Structure 1
Amino acid sequence: MAKKTNYTKNGNEYYRVTVTIGRDSNGKLIRKEFYGKSKKEAEAKRDEYLNGIKSGLNIDFQNATLGPLMKTWLFEVVRVSNRIKPSTFERYEGIYRNYIENSQIYGLRLSAIKSIQLQRYYNELYESGKTSSQIKNLNKLLKKFFFYAVEEGYILKNPCSSKSLVIPGEVEQEETEIEIFKDDEIEAIKKALEGHRLKALILLALGTGLRQGELLGLKWDHVDLENKKIKVEQAIKTVTIIDANGNRKLETREQPLKTKNSARTVPIPSSLIPVLKKHESNQKEEKLKAGPLYNDNGYVFATATGNPIDARNLLRAYERLLKKAGVPYRKFHALRHTYATKLFQRGVPLKTVQMLLGHSDISVTANIYVHVMQEQKIDAAEEISDLFN
């Protein structure tokens, strides 16, 4: 029996059906064509498309592919959002460039993507030496993108939301003990700080628990020496800025705080007030010495010409300080952990510690300092030990 077709293209016979899907901005009818080896196949493709439209999909959903649309989303939506920090966009762009662009999933049609395709890609990445953490970060970004694709009507369901999709090699992370400085190490650091340009910064980190970026972004307008308190309102970070064309440059920028709870008021220990006053006096001398070369940005901690301190330079100076003090190296964040630990050891309630640290949720504080809190429980039990004597 002869095959019934009604259209010839590139020497091949097809059956073609058309459907009107609306009008364009000029009022002209928009027609879409569907081809098949038979009338039944062409009509099935047409019906599948129309059913998708009825379900709320974008009229162009069949043509959208993962890579190009994800790049559009990243550069034209995510990059310009006030809710996304430059450092976060830099991380997202790196994931896209390394794991989506030029990858096997780049050209996948969005409407046809299944979780199993992503699972296979994740498995291959893991087998090629990528870590579970790297794959997990990729999955998180894809999940955000697919939610956007659902909102825009390109797909009906987020394939990364499937409970059957797993991160290969992922194991439940064990609690890692936080790093803190011991009392004798603190004394050694204090001794090494005598006459040091960063004395006020290091001691303030130890006495307030401010994060590195929060300390570098601190301005004198935020410091009330008379009432012994600091308003934490911003942070500074050196980030790679990526423009709409993908051009990159390194900049030190003020940026929003880590979370909404990070904006907080923190008391200054009385013993640090003279240290800060001395630091302020020294800074005024630097300002006079630099003259018109001084860029007065109002930062509490700045270079000799008033510019923001580069985070990398701070860490180098911090490492040299520990070496001078004879103290084993610990991350700068250990100063913050030491502050919180000392608060717990002195009986400060968990909720108060959470507020002072600026954690988004009390469970975050509890999970980080679970070891310290366990010690508190033991000490609490000893408080009633005399009942059994």
Structure 2
Amino acid sequence: MPRRGENIYKRKDGRWEGRFIIDRDVSGKAKYKSIYGKSYSDIKRKLEIAKQNSISLQYFHEYHFSLFCIEWLKEHRKNIKESTYIKYYNIIYMYIIPDLGEIQFNKISIQMMNQFIQKLLNQGSQNGQGLSTKSVADVISVFKNIMRYIECYYGHIHFDYHQMTVKQNKEKRMRILNSQEQQKLCQYILGHQTLIHLGILLALSTGIRIGELCALRWDHIYLDEEELIIDRTMQRIQNKDNNNNKKTKIIITTPKSQCSIRRIPIPQDLIQLLKPFECHQNEFFLTGDIEKYIEPRCLENKFKVLMQQNNIENMHFHALRHTFATKCIELGFDVKCLSEILGHANVNITLNKYVHPSFALKRDYMNKINQLINV
């Protein structure tokens, strides 16, 4: 394919290659760097970024690491959700830049990064306590993404950053409602029927997340078809644009992943409870109002009060999702079916994080071994 005057062309191996000038020797002869990609548009975009940065390959190793952090964040902002951008922003400005930002890129080593990981684990939080292994792993994940970006646009990395790992502690098992607590909670809701109480029952009966429940509108609930559609979630995030001088704001967006957009059958008994409250426009489910909504933090507080009123040990709203998943397994649900109802990408997430078999269920299973003994 002929060149387009941009030093971009398609190679014989099918890849696209673009070249740009990174330096000139004493005689003025240009020194080029090549960038590779899957398409013409991909290469054109990469070249524009490289030219805008205009960092000479001869000197870029000497630049402070903060430059690359800010550049990576700016480049990725247009391709990620606002909530994800806020997460990356905080990781970079709270952890990575304060410790590594002023270090020249060529001075960063695997030994330095191991010390950085230990510092985060021992005293990484703002109050001087250590971060959880999950939080440290998130920080290192962002660091690795920045390194991949540098490797892609500027060239060879002088140390193997891929070998950095954070040993994960075994996750603390989330408490779920036992059978007696489930019965007590359901009886109270049946005797005190409000949209908020029925929303809590809906979460217990379908496993939807708190943000999905808060964003749910009546035009996505089909009582005649006995199903609901989940394609929105609500969350409060930091307001980095600083509009109206507010530190945080509420956003309603698509769920965390494509798998989280789903249709969920509604149990028939719950259908009968919802019908007297049914709205016929796009009112929020929890309020019955088109504009007024209840945000996740407020619903979490209301759930806490409900637990106290029923003398049930305090637990997070998300425990309802775990309770639902565990109950489904006990009832013999197909794991693939349950995984799709929960909106998981694969069944391993369902089994490893959301299923907590009771000891009574384990006893029932073990008693079936009696059949072998009787034989």
Q: Contact 1:188/1:326 (CA < 8 Å) preserved in 2?
A: no
Scaled by the length of structure 1, the TM-score of the pair is 0.72
Distance in 2, Cα, partners of 1:199 & 1:92: 35
Q: CA deviation at 1:365?
A: 1.1
1:228-377 paired onto structure 2 within 5 Å: 228-243=226-241, 249-280=247-278, 298-302=283-287, 306-369=291-354, 371-372=356-357
1:15 aligns with none
Q: CA deviation at 1:357?
A: 1.0
1:11 aligns with none
1:17-32 paired onto structure 2 within 5 Å: 31=24
Distance in 2, Cα, partners of 1:251 & 1:54: 43
Distance in 1, Cα, partners of 2:95 & 2:277: 47
CA shift in 2, pair 1:297/1:237, >3 Å: farther
Q: CA deviation at 1:257?
A: 1.2
Q: Secondary structure at the match of 2:199?
A: helix
Q: Of 173, 177, 190, which aligns to 2:173?
A: 177
Q: CA deviation at 1:213?
A: 0.9
1:151 aligns with 152
Distance in 1, Cα, partners of 2:292 & 2:372: 61
Q: Which has the larger displacement, 55-64 or 203-212?
A: 55-64
Distance in 1, Cα, partners of 2:199 & 2:104: 53
Q: CA deviation at 1:384?
A: 6.0
2:103 aligns with 108
Q: RMSD over aligned Cα, in angstroms?
A: 3.4
Scaled by the length of structure 2, the TM-score of the pair is 0.75
CA shift in 2, pair 1:227/1:362, >3 Å: same
Q: CA deviation at 1:304?
A: 5.5
Q: 1:160-207, CA deviations, whole angstroms, 9 ceiling, x for partnerless residues?
A: 21x2x354xx4x422533322122222322343314441220110011
CA shift in 2, pair 1:368/1:279, >3 Å: same
Q: Contact 1:238/1:250 (CA < 8 Å) preserved in 2?
A: yes
Q: Secondary structure at the match of 1:330?
A: coil
Distance in 2, Cα, partners of 1:210 & 1:106: 40
Distance in 2, Cα, partners of 1:257 & 1:189: 28
**Considering only CA atoms, is the larger Rg found in Structure 1 or Structure 2?**
1
1:38-117 paired onto structure 2 within 5 Å: 53=33, 60-61=56-57, 62-63=59-60, 64-74=63-73, 76-81=74-79, 84-103=80-99, 105-111=100-106, 113-117=108-112
1:136 aligns with 137
- Higher normalized contact order (CA 8 Å, seq sep 6+, divided by chain length): 1
Q: CA deviation at 1:113?
A: 3.5
Q: Contact 2:239/2:247 (CA < 8 Å) preserved in 1?
A: yes
CA shift in 2, pair 1:106/1:197, >3 Å: same
Q: Contact 1:111/1:155 (CA < 8 Å) preserved in 2?
A: no
Q: Secondary structure at the match of 1:152?
A: helix
2:202 aligns with 204
Q: CA deviation at 1:300?
A: 1.7
CA shift in 2, pair 1:88/1:23, >3 Å: closer
Letter in 2 for 1:68: L
